[in-house]
């Protein structure tokens, strides 16, 4: 009995060890030490992907973006072995987390005194500003002496700002302007189509009235026998051009036109 009791904890310990080992193996497969060149190429690929469109979504990126980025990196670094999953996916999460931290320091309504040095690519502020901020955000201490060369480009990828030359335009504003312009063009186009349709309907209604009146008008012509009237009515009414010609003529000329149509 004592042996069995002693054996059970040993079994549980082995199980925990195996799970721990499995977890470490899974994490090690996901981890990749990125070089500066690889990080730079990934950021460049992200900017290209965002600016060319197709994979941007309201809350991140659309399905297939990892495969697209993997393809772009294979072109710039054929032998890197970087995969969309898990390498690029996990690296983007880290980049987005770091960008968010820096972005909040620069743009939060609760912070002031921070600026980004575009030459040294780092956060700068007075010591008093740093000390005050670090009292609340202890995890931000690493940014006091750390460069973040990708911040401006990652604003294009993750943020609301799109850098164009020396100006920074609000991406949401640009999208709203584009949507408004697209909607305006769509409304104009629909208005023109509706106007054209209405004119076509009016034209067809007018022709129908003229067709109906032709029957009455030809029936009054005494120089024609009944079969000729029937034939003339049919031939003229079946073509829009003949209908219009009939009513464009003077009343005294219409009977001659009917006879001409019968002789064709």
Q: What are phi and psi of 166, to 5 degrees?
A: -100, 5
User: Which residues are paired to 122 by β-bridges?
Assistant: 117, 147
Strand residues in the chain grouped as ranges (E):
56-57, 60-61, 115-117, 122-124, 161-164, 167-170
H-run or E-run covering 46 = helix 36-52
Q: What are phi and psi of 189, to 5 degrees?
A: -65, -45
pLDDT of residue 83: 92
The model scores a pTM over 0.95: no
| Tens digits of pLDDT across the chain (264 residues) | 454 444 444 445 455 445 445 444 444 456 688 999 999 999 999 988 888 877 777 667 888 889 989 999 999 998 889 998 989 999 999 999 999 888 888 887 667 788 898 888 898 899 999 988 888 888 888 888 889 999 989 988 887 544 433 333 444 444 455 556 666 676 777 777 877 888 878 888 888 888 888 888 888 898 889 899 899 889 888 888 888 999 999 988 988 999 999 888
pLDDT of residue 210: 85
pLDDT of residue 256: 92
pLDDT of residue 13: 46
Residue 142 gets which letter from DSSP? Answer: G
Alpha-carbon span 232 to 241, nearest angstrom: 14
CA-based nearest residue to 156, from 38, 45, 34: 45
pLDDT of residue 109: 65
Alpha-carbon span 168 to 161, nearest angstrom: 6
CA-based nearest residue to 67, from 48, 47, 82: 82
């Amino acid at each position: 009995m004592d042996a069995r009791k002693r054996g059970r904890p040993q079994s549980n310990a082995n199980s925990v060890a195996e799970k721990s080992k499995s977890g470490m193996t899974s994490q090690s497969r996901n981890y990749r030490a990125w070089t500066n060149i690889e990080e730079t190429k990934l950021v460049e690929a992200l900017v290209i992907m965002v600016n060319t469109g197709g994979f941007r979504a309201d809350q991140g990126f659309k399905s297939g973006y990892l495969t697209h980025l993997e393809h772009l990196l294979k072109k710039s670094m054929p032998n890197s072995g970087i995969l969309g999953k898990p390498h690029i996916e996990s690296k983007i999460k880290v980049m987005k987390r770091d960008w968010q931290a820096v972005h909040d320091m620069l743009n939060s309504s609760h912070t002031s005194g921070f600026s980004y040095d575009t030459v040294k690519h780092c956060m700068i502020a007075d010591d008093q500003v740093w000390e005050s901020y670090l009292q609340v955000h202890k995890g931000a201490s690493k940014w006091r002496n750390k460069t973040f060369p990708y911040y401006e480009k990652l604003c294009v990828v993750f943020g609301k700002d799109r850098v164009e030359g020396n100006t920074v335009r609000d991406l949401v504003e640009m999208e709203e302007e584009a949507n408004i312009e697209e909607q305006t063009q769509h409304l104009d186009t629909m208005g023109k189509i509706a106007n054209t349709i209405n004119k076509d309907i009016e034209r067809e209604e007018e022709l129908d009235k003229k067709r109906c009146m032709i029957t009455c008008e030809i029936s009054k012509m005494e120089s024609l026998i009944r079969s000729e009237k029937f034939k003339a009515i049919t031939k003229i009414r079946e073509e829009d051009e003949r209908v219009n010609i009939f009513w464009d003529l003077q009343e005294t000329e219409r009977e001659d036109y009917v006879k001409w149509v019968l002789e064709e």
